[in-house]
């Protein structure tokens, strides 16, 4: 298990903003159309705000119209893990960072080809490393 996954809530609280902590460590969701990356067109790599692990490339980002950054593919096959989320009477696939366990958002099977997946991700869980 990664050292990042072993951090306690107080360690995360001291590292993150209150919004980042709510989203990443308490499985919160930022309001639609409010996150800094929902309409971002800048090229780069989206990394986990908690541990810095690369998660998504900007070339896989698309406008889903949902108000959250959406990607059709993770950066590799092991960067993002998922589990079933049954909160709020729904059955969804929650996605989180494999390295630190940070909650990122959810994955849906209504995305564009070639994957058909829409990773609907909270801006608060991401940090964009801009390409030169």
For residue 93, what is the enclosing H or E element? strand 92-97
The answer to whether residue 120 is catalytic is yes
- The catalytic position among 24, 48, 97, 120 is 120
Terminal-residue alpha carbon distance, the chain = 34
Instruction: State whether residue 122 is helix, strand or coil.
Output: coil
| Spatial contact of 103 and 25, defined as CB atoms under 8 Å apart | yes
Q: What torsion, rounded to 10 degrees, do the Cα atoms 13, 61, 128, 132 define?
A: 170
CA 14 to chain centre: 20
Catalytic positions: 120
């Amino acid at each position: 298990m990664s050292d990042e996954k072993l951090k306690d809530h107080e360690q995360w609280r001291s590292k993150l903003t209150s919004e980042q902590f709510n989203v990443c460590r308490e499985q919160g969701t930022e309001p639609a159309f409010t996150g800094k990356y929902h309409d971002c067109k800048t090229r780069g790599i989206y990394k986990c705000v908690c541990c810095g692990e690369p998660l998504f490339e900007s070339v896989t980002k698309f406008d889903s119209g949902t108000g959250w950054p959406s990607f059709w593919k993770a950066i590799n096959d092991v960067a993002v893990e998922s589990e079933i989320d049954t909160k709020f009477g729904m059955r969804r696939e929650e996605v989180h960072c494999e390295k630190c366990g940070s909650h990122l958002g959810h994955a849906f099977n209504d995305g564009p080809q070639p994957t058909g997946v829409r990773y609907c991700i909270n801006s608060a869980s991401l940090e964009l490393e801009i390409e030169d």
